[in-house]
Structure 1
């Protein structure tokens, strides 16, 4: 039996965007829900339109849904990491939170928004854990939380089955996402024992896709390679120039200049591609005034 990689656009959306029971299982396993808060039923919402530019065309895959209580769940597979990604996640979650109300509605109708972000790169190298949960908490009394936005980031490359303290289903879903791919010939028995994951594996079987879909699947991975090359080359060039400029000012300042230079180069390339200024600002974190001057 040959399987496809579940992280690709085609497969991720086929598994979690067409099978409510599977996305419910994933969310209950990975979200910081208390006893009694488990998701039991969902309806799908339209996916966010990802800007059509060279740095974001392929690397973001998203599934959106809400449960019968009105809580919204944004699930993203982020194949490539960039510095502005946290701000983008906060922006989209905030937008989903605000859009719940129509003109004249009371704030009491607002329900929490959970943003689950599965990241295929390490972006917190100084932290040991792979699971990062952000919430609005009291600085001095962290048990006091303003309910509304919950942001969860999972660094998939950091995950190993031998270093975990999570729930069993969390472990198994993360194993599914990190271990199953085109090279898989024998699936671990512990994954096959879980009905939801066994069903997800059936969805991943190569024979379940048409030739056109398989061609699109290959195109997705080619696109990821191109995006990574574009981003890394811009980052390397900017870092090198920044380091050269900052040698006399210290390594740390030079690296900071390198990051800033990389973002400006990326913005300039996007501008040449005809991407609108607001999208460039959102993707790079640069002020609109600075982008206009590039």
Structure 2
């Protein structure tokens, strides 16, 4: 009897420790917990590691993208921050699954620029924008798990990079377009399969499976160990969070299954037409599943690429 009681206590302690060591997903935290100024140090660390220089957040900007509803899985978070040179930058972070994702990134950056310049201000007030996309889905073919892109104008014949003269404080300054134009970082979370050896790797590891090492010294993650514990949420908050995770799992499973069915149907018919028809059929089934889950029309359109009329007819 005593052995049974001892085993039960051991199991309960193990379960409690697992809950204590379980951390909230970053996409959930960034929309809800990390908007509080007391938790900015987590985001400071994340951006410092991602951008390779010390970043300090000034504020979370209010825009139509910064919504906090429980069904909001397709929006972005805009952040006003200072870089290591004391320059103001705008950082846009997205956690989105959409058919036309590259177009969505471009649209989001354009919104970030235009929403945060006051009417009548000169173009010199336009801030540098960094777009960081955390992708939990397959966006294409590539061997790396993180990609970086920026704008440069390259000579067609000479291969040199054009420098642009701008006036700052009545002084002419020569700058590369990349100093002004947006920069894009794509994090392909599911492609990470390495042993985490660098601060960047540790962040990707956390984004993928919620793992944070007990002895981590990585900026942001050491703070996240204390502030993003699953067990620290109230029972009501955990319930809402668990439903959010369940919705993501169901949605991803439905989309992945539909893609597989589409590929199989296309291969069986042996024609590109069959593949297209199979994928279209799969997307219609995804729309049906999402409607059954009570998801809003805009989210269904973004996920499936179907029109509102097509969805309404299902």
Equivalent in the alignment of 1:89: 105
Residue 252 (structure 2) pairs with residue 228 (structure 1): yes
Name the residue aligned to 2:168: none
Evaluate the alpha carbon distance shift between residue 243 and residue 207 of structure 1 in structure 2; reply closer, same or farther with a 3 A threshold: closer
Counterpart selection for 2:181 from 148, 153, 158 = 148
In the superposition, relative to structure 1, how do residues 284 and 222 fare at CA in structure 2: closer, same or farther (>3 Å)? closer
How many Å apart are 1:95 and its aligned residue?
1.3
Larger radius of gyration: 2
Q: How does 1:17-56 map to 2 (within 5 A)?
A: 17-18=35-36, 19-31=39-51, 38-46=54-62, 48=65
User: Is 1:4 the equivalent of 2:22?
Assistant: yes
Runs of at least 5 residues in structure 1 that lack an aligned partner in the other structure:
none
Q: Deviations over 1:66-102 (max 9, x none)?
A: 1254421112334xx4432222222112111122334
TM-score of the superposition, structure 2-length normalised?
A: 0.67
- Contact 2:129/2:181, CA 8 A, preserved across alignment: yes
Which residue of structure 1 aligns with residue 145 of structure 2? 130
Aligned counterpart in structure 2 of residue 64 of structure 1, from 57, 78, 86: 78
Contact residue 239 and residue 261 of structure 1 kept, 8 A: no
Deviation sequence 1:119-145 (CA, Å, 0-9, x none):
223433x31111112333336558554
Aligned residue in 1 for 2:206: 176
Q: Distance in 1 between matches of 2:209 and 2:285?
A: 36
CA contact (8 A) 2:43 2:57 kept: no
Please list every run of 5 or more consecutive structure 2 residues that lacks an aligned counterpart in the other structure.
Answer: 1-16, 163-176
- Between the two structures, name the one with larger relative contact order (CA 8 Å, sep ≥ 6): 1
In 2, are the aligned partners of 1:58 and 1:224 still within 8 Å (CA)? no
Question: Deviations 1:213-244 (Å, cap 9, x if unpaired)?
Answer: 11112111111122224434544455455556
Secondary structure at 1:103 match in 2: coil
Across the aligned residues of Structure 1 and Structure 2, the Cα RMSD in angstroms comes to 3.9
